[in-house]
Structure 1
Amino acid sequence: MRIRNHFLRSLGLAATFALTLAAAQATQYPITVTDVSGRSVEIKAEPQRVVVQDGRDLFALALLDREDPFKRMVAWNNILIRSDPQTWAAFQKAWPESSARPIDMKFGDEGQVNLEQLAVSKPDLLIFQVRVRQALEDADLFNRLKTLGIPIILVDTEMEPVVNVPKTVQLIGTVFNREKEAKEFTDFYASHIAAINTAIAGQPKPSVFVEAKAGQKGIDSCCFTHGDVYWGKLATAAGGVNLGSELVKGRTGDVTLETVIAKAPDVFVMTGSPFSNDGSVSPPFGINSDPKKIEAALAVLEQRKGFEHIKAVKDGRVFGLYHQLYASAWNIYAVEYMAKAFYPEQLKALDPDANLHTLISKFTGLPADLPVTFGAKAPTVK
């Protein structure tokens, strides 16, 4: 009896400790947070009606509101339905009712919004990407929303993706009262980035050309790329020297094939998605994608006229990646995949696909056995 009573007391103490720990981790409202742009924002209560400017922030919400990433969303820009209907279908299937509720406002790519439309959805929080801050300031939206009592936080998964993805997830986690879930993911993220940096420290860096949205405009198009943002930053974080950073003046731009050939990249990366526009031959990477179709698309694209003169093609170092990762909190896969492609000897043991499976099964509510192809090596051209 004495042993049994001691056991019950121990259970009681454990339960009390668990409750105390949960209370300590819970967000206490009202709270003032500093968003990724450095703005101070007061959040008076846990948000229940959220507007999301960039639909790819769904990947971040899935890490936090794991039981249902749509539970708070009342309006958004559903980029996925237009740029990757397969991945959108996977989220729809997992949350059929809640995914149908938010209004797709189709915000402008630079953040242009209709304030009257926003007001109709009665939001208590807006989440926007840092890259559209200028458009918001030009429209005096910060002050107008403040007058209405609607807070707006700026996040970033694109401009400084590896630096700001953990900050973004932590910020939204604090605002959403999901600090525990945020920390679980950011710890995972930090440990994987650190492991890459340790493995490749001191190694010569390969030059990399990233053809973003390869094949979206058809078989004859080449070569759209990213500068020192987006895929350029991800390639740099993976230990490469992004050629786009010196070849384009702005965030993005087109580079002639002749220039790419002259630059002799050690590695050539094509990013693709099952874009819905007519004429696209882009590799259809994503959730529920067909690996054979991806391989076929990569083979066709690397055999475009003139590509046989590109150093990376001749050396068999052409790789493909899921395009939407450049704006996704899941971008750790892109960094790991490229790092292994850049440094195959130093990162022999690295398994980006297994780590992606861990991310989805452990940190989201999506099915653990979800078929996903986010990266692939292109067939060697003979």
Structure 2
Amino acid sequence: MRISQEISTVLGLCIILSSMVASAADFTLGIYGNANLDDTIDDKDMAYVKEVIKGTKAPTNLADANHDGKINDLDEIQIEQIINGTEKEITVIDSANRTVTVMLPVKRIAVGGMEDAVAIRILGAMDRVVAVSEYLLTLDYDRAFFPELQELPSIGSEIDCEAVLAVKPDLLLKYSAKKVEEKNLPGVVILNLDMYRARNTINEMKILGYVLGAEERVQEYIDFCEPIFKEIKEKTAVLPSDKKARVYVEAQGDYVTHTKMGASGYQIELAGGQNIAADMIGGATGWLEVDPEWILTENPDIIVKMAGWNRDNTTAGYETDDFTSMKALRDYILNRPELAKVKAVENGNVEILAYDITYNPDYVISVAYLAKLFYPELFRDLDPVAIHQEYLDKFHKSLGWDVGKHGTFVYPPIAN
């Protein structure tokens, strides 16, 4: 493994070209070999590197496909191998902005969190998982969703390096908030892919797809999600601003909300809503505390409160079939005296949404539910329950889950 936080000066300066070169992409795929800085690696990158070598194109940081500090014929060979799926290693930029080289193929994976476990199942690589976070083995919602992992060894809740080394993984996959000293895991590649902030999820999923040799599977995932996002965007884009749902989203704790960078802030945007805290300045993960008076002043049309994962002492999602906890949480918000004059409370537009379908790569499900909640007339023909079921059947088929019979994902439940 090679890890570098710095690139050569000439190449590093060229990252600013990304907005010009990759104007058609929603993001720049963080893999060395993506020379033209779009959202994939293909023949266009080969052509771009040829132009760089000839001196007719400016170098970009990702044009150095083999990450050796030079752009030459070896980079063309590496890009060709990535395209053909014959590369022996691949260098990526992870969620902690670390440059990481992974030796391929990856055969043994230790998983440090639920979000990454979801991604691995979507990509069809659960048979490579050799150990998992303690949370995946002890928390009710994780146990319900990952029955196939329950007999695997634990690597602890905060990553026990000795436990990781004991299972001899090629790769430790985790989210960046869990800190691990690389020197304590010799021979193990550490890759941070958060998978809980929807704004970055497609990029992270594509990176993992290349790392695991599952590019076709990740494209199936994208092909499922994008038409749903497109339909919602097209239908809500024509709405005048005063007709768009103004939304206050509340995470764990009273009056903790998310900006546009928060874990659920982007879902509000994708569903066509206006997050009233979108442009505020929050913490590193996009959360901030607000005053009830501010909410009263903003007067949102809808309040969305997150539930489950034992946060705010609630159960929701795949761990239960009982709506009692979600109902109690909704009643609690409706009865907050300081919110009595807020439009959403006066009109009873308080919705409870499960974390299970929001804070991981399955977030497309939450977007479908939210669009229906925000604009029931506009999306009269949108059936989020059917979308949810189709998604599970396609990407989590081993669960055999029947959404119509099990789970509590939105309260009040949606009647199509």
Change (3 A) 1:167 1:248: closer
Q: Unaligned regions of 5+ residues in structure 2, if any? A: 1-81
Cα 1:130–1:281, aligned 2, differ >3 Å: closer, same or farther?
A: closer
1:74 and 2:130 equivalent? yes
User: Paired residues, what number?
Assistant: 322
Tell me the distance in 2 between the aligned counterparts of 1:91 and 1:117: 20
1:361 aligns with: 393
Partner of 2:247: 208
**1:285 has 2:316 as partner:** yes
Distance 1:268 1:311 in 2: 9
Deviation at 1:125, TM superposition (A): 0.6
Whole-angstrom distance in 1 between the partners of 2:93 and 2:280:
32
Structure 1: distance between partners of 2:249 and 2:392: 26
Matched, 1:128 2:159: no
Question: Are 1:46 and 2:105 an aligned pair?
Answer: yes
Q: Is the 8 A contact 1:32 1:42 kept in 2?
A: yes
Normalised to the residue count of structure 1, the TM-score between the two structures is 0.74
Relative distance call for 1:115 and 1:289 in structure 2 (3 A) is closer
> Contact 1:318/1:378 (CA < 8 Å) preserved in 2?
no
* Structure 1 counterpart of 2:220, from 168, 184, 209: 184
1:59 equivalenced with 2:91 (yes/no): no
Compared CA separation, residues 234 and 226, structure 1 to 2 (3 A) = same
- Residue matched to 2:266: 233
Q: 1:225 to 1:324 in 2, by over 3 A?
A: farther
Contact 2:91 2:101 in 1 (8 A): yes
Q: Which runs of 4+ in 1 moved over 6 A?
A: none
SS in 2 for 1:105: coil
Aligned ranges for residues 154-169 of structure 1 at < 5 Å? Answer: 154-159=192-197, 161-162=198-199, 164-169=200-205
From the superposition, tell whether residues 166 and 102 of structure 1 become closer, same or farther in structure 2 (CA, over 3 Å): farther
Match of 2:140 in 1: 85
Contact 2:143/2:150 (<8 A) preserved: no
Alignment check: 8 A CA contact 1:33 1:171 kept: no
Q: Distance in 1 between matches of 2:205 and 2:248?
A: 29
1:175 pairs with one of 206, 211, 218: 211
Q: 1:131 to 1:347 in 2, by over 3 A?
A: farther
Partner of 1:3: none
Deviation of 1:246 after TM superposition, in Å, equals 4.8
Q: Tell me, in whole angstroms, the C-alpha distance in 2 between the residues paired with 1:248 and 1:297.
A: 31
Q: 1:115 to 1:294 in 2, by over 3 A?
A: closer
Quick one: structure 1 residues 81 and 319, their matched pair in 2 at CA, closer, same or farther if it must change by over 3 Å? Answer: farther
Cα pair distance change 1:131/1:349, threshold 3 Å: farther
Q: Could you say which structure has the greater relative contact order, defined with CA pairs below 8 angstroms and 6 or more residues apart?
A: 1
Contact 2:303 2:344 in 1 (8 A): yes
**Aligned in 2, Cα 1:337/1:206: closer, same or farther, shift over 3 Å?**
same
Q: Is 1:32 aligned to 2:90, yes or no?
A: yes
- Displacement of 1:273 in angstroms is 0.3
The percentage of aligned residue pairs carrying the same residue is: 25
Deviation at 1:172, TM superposition (A): 2.0
Query: For residues 97-144 of structure 1, what are the alpha-carbon distances to aligned partners after superposition, in whole Å with 9 as ceiling and x for unaligned?
Result: x4221314111xxxxx55444333322112132556xx56xx5x3xx3
Contact 2:114 2:142 in 1 (8 A): no
